Structure 1
Amino acid sequence: MALRHHQIDHSSTLPLQRISTTNFDLDDMRSDVDGNLYATLNGDGKIIKLSPEGKVLQTILATGYTFANSK
């Protein structure tokens, strides 16, 4: 999966900053005010927290939960 990183500027343009790739099968995603990305992993029962640079900061076990597009 490719993650596209953008910086929104005051001219209302959305220039592409960079593209990074992951080896994860990501499903739903949300971000926080610090730019970290929280994503559920299909079929794994886990949520990962990624830094703005794409580094895994935390893995949260969600044992017993299934996510929307789980296999």
Structure 2
Amino acid sequence: LLNSIPTLRKEKKLKFITGSPPDLSDTKPGCRFFDRCPEAMDKCKTDPPKIKTDSGYVLCWLYE
């Protein structure tokens, strides 16, 4: 997410993200970004994350 912040420097190259964008019409269980996330775990594929924090909710098992 932080890599998407625009910059005025021309020399900055875009970072390539592997995988395909998630199909938003797909209703499979688990995280929609499982195929693209370098931090994906087995439970990301089957269990939808929703973790409460002090300021709200996080939809990623990394913050469990």
Q: TM-score, normalised by structure 2?
A: 0.30
Q: Which has the higher strand share?
A: 1
Q: TM-score, normalised by structure 1?
A: 0.28
Q: Which has the higher helix share?
A: 2
